[in-house]
Structure 1
Amino acid sequence: MTVSANQPTAAAPRHNAKVITALRRFAISISVLNIAGYTFLGFEQPWIWPVFAVLTAYTVEISLEFVSAKVDGRAPRYAGGGFKGMVEFLFPAHITGLAVNMLTYVNDRVWVMLFGVIVAVGAKWVLRAPVKGRMRHYMNPSNFGIAIILLLFPWASIAPPYHFTEYLYGPADWVLPAIIITLGTLLNAKLTNRMWLIMAWLVGFVLQAVIRGIFLGTSIPAALGMMTGVAFVLFTNYMVTDPGTSPSKRSSQIAFGGGVAALYGVLTGFGIAYGIFFATALVCLIRGGYLWGLHFLDKQREAAAKAAAAPPAPVAVVPAPVPVAAAAGDPCQEGTCFHGACASKRAAETKKVGVPG
């Protein structure tokens, strides 16, 4: 069968099987949490808002993928896999839409929440860096959308922490965080492999609380008390560990998790609210700059290696100039000719001058 030259090439898989499994479980978990939240936990946002959020996220994701495929001359990643392929393609958008709505509180201004969803999903096509020969987004989508909302709309806030357990009492207050921790640990230990990042984040969080207590007079128990909230547990297990925007190497994971904790301590020490989201965004931004720096450094090394391996340029040989015989002098002027007239003239000139005695 002949393939037309204008036919778009097949798109490379967006995620490997392990990541797809992790995204599927994460999408199911956050969907169940939202259903429980609006049923009996006490979520504050209107119940229809999650629907608006995911539909907006789906629309932006599909539209930008379509445009990207046209520009790259390839088939869209949601095409060719049937309904299953479309569902797997939309896992990240589904998670982002629900997370932005669940973790922000914008009163009754739904358009602000939808703006955050659009920014979160759209940033994946704008803020990108080369990783192993492919362009990958480096800003955590949900976190970035929330951070932009908090920056541009000072009256907005994160969702009140109590709304995760507002209608739970007694042992149930502990059961829900325990379930989230258990499922999150299994997810990160077996699928995303981000346990080193989690440990670095937790250790760093404890250290920054102690340091702020020693040098800034912050109540250390109060600073550590944040770790007992459901919002903190969700952030630790499902946001900061995003496999698409966090490193895979052990040392890089430790630097990433510790960096988020350190920046959180600095921002909180300066009295900046919602530092946990801003710290994550800053670390992701720093990582993106680092990835671009590595890319340009590799390009310079490749150029230097090619220059060193290239054969030396041939040396041009310039022929020596051909000597030109000097023009002979005029014998008559020099007095060396044998002409009679010239001899008489020379004799007359000699008489005029005279010979000294």
Structure 2
Amino acid sequence: MPKEYQLESMPATASLSQWLKNNFQYIPPAFITLILLVGQFTFGILDSYMTLVAAIATAMIAEIILARIVLGTWKNLASAYITGISVGILIRSNVVWPYIVTSLLSILSKYVFRYKDRHLWNPSNFGVSWMLALYSVHVAGLSIQWGSNLAAMSVIWILGLLIVNRAKRLHVTVTYVISFSILAYVRCLITGDAFLAELSPLTGPMYQLFIFFMITDPPTSVSTRKGRIIVAVLVAIVEFVLRLNNLIYAPFFALFLVGPVAKFFDLRSIALRNRKREKPGVGPGSVA
């Protein structure tokens, strides 16, 4: 059978599956853009398109320059785009410079804070956390919810779950959501607030970005499935404690504290295992 005929007779689903496999790095940027569009046209979550453009442009330019200087290579800009658009969505300010600084801090963290040639922090988590902690006079975090728009929330969640499943990180999202839900019930017992009020942050764009992009970030996740599940539970527990102390940006701070420590020890344990594997054994006839 001619090769051309074989290609033409290939099922459309197979062609689509192969295309997604070969171009998956572009799916998360498309998805986060969808989150932005749904949020903007439904609730107007952006203060200004100029600040969004400033955040994205800064992230992409910084990625190009730093990758060339530090690594001597040209990087795919999909990750930088996700970082920039995340910054543009997640922080609020009436001036432009915090968006530029946050994006710059986020990308710098990939090239400055490294261990075993890997960066430890999720970039946007690093930048957003620092700005919310140190410049709260000029910067606030996104707090708007999707409200009662169940259709918008359902589309985002369905697509998000499909994407993290394709990235082999569905167990991270599910573990975190279950942990958050259980601890939300515990919080309502402690504080006396309604359970749905404690649970409602999960419906907001801030948490959707956190659940689908930050805590599941493959480059900064630990190497084992069991380890990733443990990290997700620990992040939820630290967030629980921070929320009890009235820190409204608790998820960002929790991941900021837990994620890099877990990644450091994961990389260290991998290095130690590799060293033991490469170390020659002492046997008969060898010099001890």
Q: Do these two structures clear the TM 0.5 threshold for a shared fold by scoring above it?
A: yes
More helix by share: 2
Deviation at 1:300, TM superposition (A): 6.8
Corresponding residue number in structure 2 for 1:159? 142
Superposed displacement of residue 19, structure 1: 8.2
CA–CA distance in structure 1, aligned partners of residues 197 and 158 of structure 2: 25
Question: Alpha carbons of 1:246 and 1:269: their partners in 2 closer, same or farther (altered >3 Å)?
Answer: same
TM-score by length of 1: 0.67
Aligned to 1:41: 43
1:238 is displaced (CA, Å) by 2.9
Give yes or no for contact 1:205–1:261 (8 Å, CA) kept in 2: yes
Distance 1:157 1:306, change over 3 A: same
Counterpart check, 1:90 vs 2:77? yes
> Deviation of residue 296 (structure 1)?
6.0
| Cα distance in structure 1, aligned partners of 2:24 and 2:43 | 25
Q: Work out the number of aligned pairs and report it.
A: 268
| Aligned-pair CA distance for 1:35 | 4.3
Matched, 1:201 2:185: no
Following the alignment from structure 2 to structure 1, what is the Cα–Cα distance between the partners of residues 232 and 158? 20
Task: Give the corresponding residue for 1:143.
Answer: 125
Q: Could you say if the C-alpha distance between residues 238 and 285 of structure 1 is closer, same or farther in structure 2, counting changes exceeding 3 Å?
A: closer
Confirm whether residue 241 of structure 1 aligns to residue 216 of structure 2: yes
List gaps (5 residues or longer) in structure 2. 1-18
What residue ranges of structure 1 are gaps of 5+ in the alignment? 1-16, 71-75, 79-88, 314-357
In structure 2, give the amino acid aligned to 1:234: L
Deviation at 1:291, TM superposition (A): 2.7
Aligned match for 1:123, one of 109, 117, 121: 109
What is the CA deviation profile of residues 51-71 of structure 1, one whole-angstrom value per residue up to 9, with x for unaligned ones? 11111111110111111234x
CA 1:95–1:115: 2 relative to 1, 3 Å: same
Q: Which residues in structure 2 correspond to 1:189-338 (within 5 Å)?
A: 189=165, 191-294=166-269, 297-298=272-273, 301=276, 305-306=279-280, 308=282, 311-312=286-287
Shift of 1:30: 2.1
Provide the C-alpha distance between the structure 2 equivalents of 1:94 and 1:112, rounded to a whole number of angstroms.
17
Secondary structure, aligned partner of 1:161: coil
Equivalent residue, structure 2, for 1:186 = 162
Of structures 1 and 2, the larger Rg is shown by: 1
What percentage of residue pairs aligned between the two structures are identical?
A: 25
Q: Distance in 1 between the 2:273 and 2:60 partners?
A: 36
1:242-264 CA distance string (max 9 Å, x none): 22222353212211211111111
Q: Normalising by structure 2, what TM-score?
A: 0.82
Code of the residue aligned with 2:30 in structure 1: it is I
Seen in structure 2, the aligned counterparts of structure 1 residues 40 and 214 have a Cα distance that, compared at 3 Å, is closer
